[in-house]
Every structure is written in structure tokens, then in C-alpha cells.
Chain A
Amino acid sequence: MSEANIPLLEQEESTPRRAGLGPGSIVLLVGILAVIGVFGWALAQRHQTQPTAGSAPDFTLTTYDGQEVRLSDLRGQVVVVNFWASWCAPCRVEAPDLQRVHEKYRDRGVQVIGVAYTDTDTNALAFIDEFGLTYINGPDRGTRISTRYNIQGVPETFVIDQDGNIAKFIFAPTSERALSEIIDGLLASA
């Protein structure tokens, strides 16, 4: 075969690569970062826990009697804030204890407040009647109070000292003895 000097094929000039990211890549990158940001925020919110120290989140509770009680107005008293529900079995166990604590300390500058969590008014009032609860009780309308306290369920109890700071968080059904111990300590230190 004769040697043929086959000339090189004419090559099309290739378009030079652009330095940096194109508009589509930028949009994709921003989108991915935004999704990561949103998921990260959501995860951070989910992992927020109940306050165990510091200033107790203030709230206003409208009782079943129609009265308005504001936590900050009770500064100077020890306040026991108890989140409960009529469908909660452990709440039924601790209700008599809370009533006894109320009766024992109400003349000594201690206020017990019951906050009904996602309960129907009918059942909540029946619960109050059943256990003869005479301390302040009201529904958590819009679950605003429980959101501020980041409660995970019921029952949960917060003991707030005379300066409005959280002295103790109880993540379980409480008892008269346990509460008395905490309250006696706070009253003695005042």
C-alpha cells in the first residue's frame, strides 16, 4: 500500500470551557444549600428541650372560670406549673398529690397552676371535678404555653422560685413528698 499522506482531519474548534459555575449550577447549588439549611433548622427545633434553669417563660392562662392569670404577676411566690391531660393515666395518679400540695402551701406563698394540654373542655372539667382540684386550672389554648416550655408530653411539672427562675423540672409524675421537699427548700432560702 502506498504511503498516503493523509492530511489531518480538520478539527472543529472546540468552544473553550467557561471558568467557574454556570447559572444552572449556581441555582442547583443554592437550592441544595437551602434544603440543607431548612432541614438543619427543623432538626435544631426538634431537639430543643424543656427549660431546666433560668427565667421561666412567661405566659397568660385563662382559667376555666374565665379569670386571667399571668405568671409574671406571681413573682414573689413559689409557683408549681403542672401540665396535664384527662386522658393521661399518670396525671390521674399525681392529681391528688398536687391538690394536697396546694392545700398545704396556699397560705405560705405557693401557687399551683394546672395547664390542660390538648384536652377537651368537657373531659378536663370532669377531671377537675373527679379529683376535687381547687387550684388554678386552665386550657392551653393554641398550645402556646406548652410550646414555650417545649414539653414533650404529660405530665410535666416546673417549679418556679420567687424570682421567676426555674428551680426544678420534673419529667415524670410527681408526688406530694417530692414537691414538698423542693418547696420547703425554696421557702427556706427566701
Chain B
Amino acid sequence: MMNRSKIHLSSGTVLVLIILFAVLLAGLPAAAQERVVTDDEVNAIAKQLYCPVCENIPLDVCPTLACQEWRNEIRTQLASGMSEQEVINDFVQRYGERVVGTPQDPTLRALSLVTPWLLGLVALLSAGYVLLRWRSNAPQRASGTAVAAGVRDDDYYRARIEQDVMARR
């Protein structure tokens, strides 16, 4: 018969184990929040933002110190659990709409939003107008009046040439 050995733990050891377990449990949420953020994740957001110092340079390729700090800020925010859109919204709220390339002047901003739709509408109306004109001109061509006139002219001159050739013989 096997002797089952029993593990006897002193009260001190039990206390240490409990404390260790509690520390591990406390560390788990923190570890879950501070996830590792890759450069690709940072650049996926950075390419949607623009350098605060140099005009029209996307944040992901800008070499300035200001841009480096903004990319670090993006990394920190992603690591804290913010989503891509939340990061962008935060940057817009803090630094203005210029960071996403929107013109700052209210008039230009309105124009930049309205103009593409306006151009599309104008193009559509113009195309419709041209199509209607083509359709209204089409019946005139289908009557073949001009074609008949051309054929008639050829026959006439052919007849005249043959008449002249016969007269020479």
C-alpha cells in the first residue's frame, strides 16, 4: 500500500504564496492594457495625418522631431486601447482639422466638400444634355436625305462622264 505523502506547508509559506498570487492577479489587467503596438499599426494611422510643421507631408514619412513625437503619441494611445478612429478624433480635437488635411479656412473647407459633388452633378447634367441632343439629331440622319443626295450626285456625274466618252468615240 502506497504511502501517500502529505505536503505540509507552514503558515509563512502559505502567506507568501497568497501574496504572490495576489500580485500576479493585480498585474494581469495592466499587462492586458499595455499591448505591443507594431510600427505598421502606427503608420496605418500616421499616413492619414499630416505633419504639423511641414505642409502636405504625411506623418508616416515625415522625419522631423515633431512628427516623431506625434507617432510616439499614436503608439501610446494604441497601447492604451484606443481604436484607430479614436486616435484620429483625438488628434483632430487637439490639433485641428489641418492634421487630416482639411483646409482650415471655413469657406475653403465648405468648397472642398461641396465642389466634388457639384462637379459630378454638372457632369451628369451635361452628359444628359448631350445624349438628348444626339437623340434629337438622330432622326434627321436616319431619313438618309444627305446620303441620297450624294448618291444622286455620283450617278449624275457618272452619266455625264459616260456621255462625254461616248461622244468622243
Interface residues of chain A, those whose CB is within 8 Å of chain B, are 1-2, 4, 6, 9-10, 12, 23-24, 27, 31, 34, 38, 41-42, 45, 85-87, 117-120, 122-123, 139, 141-144, 147, 153
Contacts and interface: CB of A to CB of B under 8 A. Distances in A.
A4 B95 CA distance: 89
A142 B129 contact: no
Contacts of B126: 24, 27
A87 B64 contact: yes
A77 to B, nearest CB: 28
Nearest to A86: B69
Given A23-B129, A142-B94, 12 more contacts: A1-B168, A2-B167, A4-B163, A12-B146, A12-B149, A24-B129, A38-B108, A41-B105, A41-B108, A118-B95, A142-B97, A143-B98
A45 B98 CA distance: 14
B143 interface: no
Contacts of B68: 87
Interface string B111-153: 1000100010010011001100000000000000010010001
Interface in B58-95: 64-66, 68-70, 72-73, 93-95
A42 B146 CA distance: 53
Nearest to A24: B126
Contact of A143 (B69, B96, B119): B96
Contacts of A122: 73
B111 A38 contact: yes
Task: Kindly list the 7 A-B residue pairs having the minimum CB-CB distance in the complex, ordered from nearest.
Answer: A118-B52, A143-B96, A87-B65, A142-B96, A87-B66, A120-B73, A45-B105
A34 B119 CA distance: 11
Contacts of A119: 69
Contacts of A34: 115
A9 B153 contact: yes
A42 B53 CA distance: 19
B33 interface: no
A123 B72 CA distance: 11
